[in-house]
Structure 1
């Protein structure tokens, strides 16, 4: 829809955008869509540069006051629905461009992105400009150099260059306390899931990345289509699982840290899913099926409640699967027994083939190693079974067998089934 506000250039731009959005894209193939995208990205950079310039002019003119706002940051949050961080970044960019003409020119020409200019912006902060002047630094030369780096190098190289400049600007400054730069917070949702925010100093971040990357790279099954973020989250959970199982974490109120699941006995023995039947130690509610999965091995304390709510089974001040049995299962299975999985034994739970709640005993014959991913699968319909010859077979919920290459011929399948 055409804007009724004054401004011939803006109205002309709206007209062009209307024309662009009306073009059909479904017939574009090969190089054509990439060329169109490249042109749009350059135009986006140019438009972002003009927006930043306009925001700065509004700030200088105290235009936010016209709408009763105290600052352009608050105007952007209230009128443009910006987040606080995005509003602050845009205002900082507008201010920085006044002192970095080479960067501003490259931005206006479409050679730099708004993100790149945001990385450079701290160079033009007042305290850094004062420090540069006191040390005789040629800010104009730095401006031109950073504009060239931003337009010719990848983003990590730009971040490194800016960080190097700012560090050299104050080489004798006090070394910050890394513990003051770290924070971890999360919000718990109604279903018990967590959303978190993590901030770490460079060294702390390096350690966390090294630990998570080691687990992520050690378990890269073929055909894994999860995103990098999903894989990293899974590695973080595995890292915690390993530590809980190792028993080396600090004691909490006379007990080693562990997960706790509380569930009524009726829900535990019921083969149904049982949504919302069990409660975890930190208050989350999970299904009975999930509780049965958690109760298989050693990282969880089970508390089974009778009909009147009295504890029937406090389970596991010692492990349900004793150490000597786990070692025997590890020696026999070597790792996850689910078809096609190569997870090592120290990533696995000991799964009861017949659940102890259904009368299954805790024995070598009734046990098998399963990694977290496949342990979940087995508690959601998949089945694993050990054959008399020692081989493991995995079946889907529909009864068909999960086979790995090289797959047997029809004759071999018939013979084995017989």
Structure 2
């Protein structure tokens, strides 16, 4: 091959010289030498991705009457759960499916760009994917799984939930993954709470009815007052936010407008790990780091 043409590009061009493709080209009187020269030019000047597009276009025009393969047949996704409960995965999508996925994720990435955001592009996309799942689960429109709506379930001892000092491994999620008490408190801040009494051998003896910690009318009041995440520098919209108890209900805090605030998932997590938000008498919210220093955003010029 010519200098500057990689093995991958040669393999790409090979798709255009299969016996079937050569037969179709001969039937249509196509000048194969000219086609080969064009491919070589694109490979050297345009790069691999442009070559892929050119070869795809050539093959599509070569066999316009042939059956188009179903692109969805190539879709796949694999998910691996690691010992610490974290998840990684890989997926393959066709062009249309991939465009839908990118559009959904990018819309959330672009809408969640608070001042001072130092996350990498990969972190922003990861947060956006979780936010997408949050919105789907909260909307309640997903199919029912064995008579129960899809949900995130955590089981934790009441004493561990009430003790801020409880370390990692206090709560067990539905998948079996273990999380810290702080993470469980974060989930319990704006979730549904159910009581289960276990016997000495671990057998459930009594199951109480689940109840919503934050009633709908209180959420509406928070949305009307706060209008977005109250963490300094963040403007995440209300539909991305949880209702956070400033004094947690497990510590005796009231479920009231005065004791609540809207926080997006990322900043709600921070507040349950040492950060603090506080509403001032004039209605402004201020935010402090775990070391006691305040987060300040420069005023616009």
Q: Which residue of 2 aligns with 1:175?
A: 68
Is the 8 Å Cα contact of residues 194 and 211 (structure 2) preserved in structure 1?
A: no
Bigger Cα displacement from structure 2, 219-228 vs 158-167: 219-228
Aligned with 1:166 (options 59, 66, 70): 59
Q: Does 1:275 align with 2:168?
A: yes
Aligned to 2:132: 239
Give me the TM-score of the superposition, normalised by structure 1: 0.66
Give ranges in structure 2 of 5+ residues lacking alignment.
none
Q: When the two structures are superposed, what TM-score results if normalisation uses the length of structure 2?
A: 0.89
Match of 2:246 in 1: 353
Of 221, 230, 250, which residue of structure 1 is paired with 2:114?
Answer: 221
Q: Deviations over 1:47-81 (max 9, x none)?
A: xxxxxxxxxxxxxxxxxxxxxxxxxxxxxxxxxxx
CA distance in 2, matches of 1:348, 1:316: 25
Which residue in 1 is equivalent to 2:151? 258
Query: Which residue in the other structure is 2:292 paired with?
Result: 399
Quick check: 2:243–2:261 contact (8 Å CA) kept in 1? yes
Structure 1 unpaired stretches of 5+: 1-103, 408-418
Residue aligned with 2:153, SS: strand
Deviations 1:183-229 (A, max 9, x none): 12211111111121211222222211111111112222344343333
Whether the aligned pair in 2 keeps the contact of 1:262 and 1:279 (CA below 8 Å) is: yes
In 1, the alpha carbon distance for the partners of 2:140 and 2:274 equals 31
1:275-314 superposed Cα distances (whole Å, 9 cap, x missing partner): 111111222221111111111113x666666684576996
> Which range moves more in the overlay, 369-378 or 270-279?
270-279
Shift in Å, 1:127? 4.0
For these two proteins, the number of residue pairs brought into alignment is: 299
Displacement of 1:268: 0.8
Aligned residue runs from structure 1 range 16-415, under 5 A: 104-105=1-2, 109=3, 111-298=4-191, 308=200, 309=202, 317-406=210-299
Equivalent pair of 1:243/1:249 in contact (CA under 8 Å): yes
Q: RMSD over aligned Cα, in angstroms?
A: 2.5
Q: Which has the higher strand share?
A: 2
Q: How far off is 1:239 after superposition? A: 0.9
Higher helix share: 1
